[in-house]
Amino acid sequence: MIIDFHAHIGDLRSPEDLKKSPITLENLIERLDDEGIDKAVLLPVNVSPESCKAHGFFSPPSDIVSQLEAAARYSERLILFGNLDPRMGCLGNLEPHQVDNPPKTDFSPFLKRFKEMGCVGIGEVTANLPLDDPRVINMFRQCGEWDMPVLFHCTGPGRGVYGLFDEVGLPRLEKLLKEAPDTTIIGHAPGFWAEIAGDIKPEEKFIYPKGPIEKEGSLPKLLRSCSNLYADISAGSGYNAISRDKTFGIQFLTEFQDKVLLGTDVCYGDKEGRMPHLSYLRNLLSDKLISREVFDKITGENALRILKLYKP
């Protein structure tokens, strides 16, 4: 079974790319059929303001519950995730001593509601907060208590973009993994995938660094040492990381065959916006550069194993 672990629906266009088409449920299913993908994990959007440049400006706005209710019509093809922002629920004025240590939100009403709607995980988390912010740790821990894996977008250090951020070496991610040991945590995006290589500069965590990988980075080390960390190869960032140095990429996919998840992160409805990940893996398989076992794990078996609440 082939599973795309990273799919969205909705209007993700910014004002500069209105020539592209929004993703509808119909063109998502059409893509899955064309590419020979059995199922996709649907990650609802529009929970954090950072990730939507023009939400509701060029198409009717869509909230998370509407996206999930619409997607539930395709329950044989779509695996539903809920989505949360770690800043949710912190109502009222804080006392001065609470500013650095805000009260802990109880996410259980949201998690219960998502579970009732058939959701089996949470993501993608895009709030622009440090990866080890107390609100992030609190939310991730609670998702683990509900057996819901969490997928997050990772960016480089400092505020101003979108996604949870970290410094070179992923020290904050390491802290989060240790503080939420019972939560399955799935990383993706430039701030995560740049760390496949060692000795990187902070600015490389915002781009797709090219060229051969001379020295392994913090990502392989964390995948080895933290059993709750998984890696989603979706988007340009994941594809670049596994293909920029083909030999290194094959070794990486083989060593972490139990931890890597196929995803695409297609953001538009047009055929031109489709992603190369699955055909790249299919080519590695047909050229005998990865085994059938590695291919099957990465393209579906790992997903089914970590999605404890999912009943196909």
- The residues binding Zn ion (CB under 5 A) are 265
Q: Which tokens is 88 given? A: 């949710």
Cβ-based nearer residue to Zn ion, 204 or 265: 265
> What is the DSSP-derived secondary structure letter of residue 300?
I
Q: Based on CB atoms, which residue is closest to Zn ion, 245 or 265?
A: 265
Minimal distance in Å, beta carbon 12 to Zn ion? 8
Q: What angle is formed at CA 300 by the lines to CA 294 and CA 305, rounded to 5 degrees?
A: 100
| Beta bridge partners of residue 122, listed in sequence order | 82, 150
Angle at 212 between CA 207 and CA 217, to 5 degrees: 65
Q: Closest Cα to residue 111, out of 140, 146, 81?
A: 146
At 224, list the tokens. 């080895």
Beta carbon nearer to Zn ion, 79 or 290: 79
Using the minimum distance from each CB to Zn ion, give the nearer residue, 174 or 265.
Answer: 265
92-to-108, 190, 216 alpha-carbon distances in Å:
19, 35, 46
Question: What is the smallest separation between the CB atom of 250 and Zn ion, expressed in angstroms?
Answer: 25
CB of 45 to Zn ion, least distance (A): 8
Q: Are 43 and 82 in contact (CB under 8 A)?
A: no
The minimum distance between CB 109 and Zn ion, in angstroms, equals 25
Min. distance of Cβ 126 from Zn ion in angstroms? 8
Q: How far is the CB of 134 from Zn ion (least distance, A)?
A: 25
H runs (alpha helix) in the chain = 25-35, 64-71, 108-116, 134-145, 171-179, 190-193, 218-225, 235-243, 246-255, 277-286, 292-296, 302-306
Residue 81 or 256 with smaller CB distance to Zn ion: 81
Residue among 105 and 263 whose Cβ is closer to Zn ion: 263
We find the least distance from the C-beta atom of residue 79 to Zn ion, in angstroms, to be 15
Q: Which residues contact 289 (CB under 8 A, 6 or more apart)?
A: 250
The torsion angles phi and psi of 193, rounded to 5 degrees, stand at -75, -25
Question: In which residue are the tokens 């619409």 written?
Answer: 70
Nearer to Zn ion, 133 or 265 (CB): 265
Closest CB to Zn ion among residues 138, 264: 264
**CB 311 to Zn ion: min, Å:** 25
- Please tell me the distance from the alpha carbon of residue 159 to that of residue 136, in angstroms, as a whole number: 15
CB-count burial class (<10 Å; 0-12, 13-18, 19+) for 134: middle
The residue with its CB nearest to Zn ion is: 265
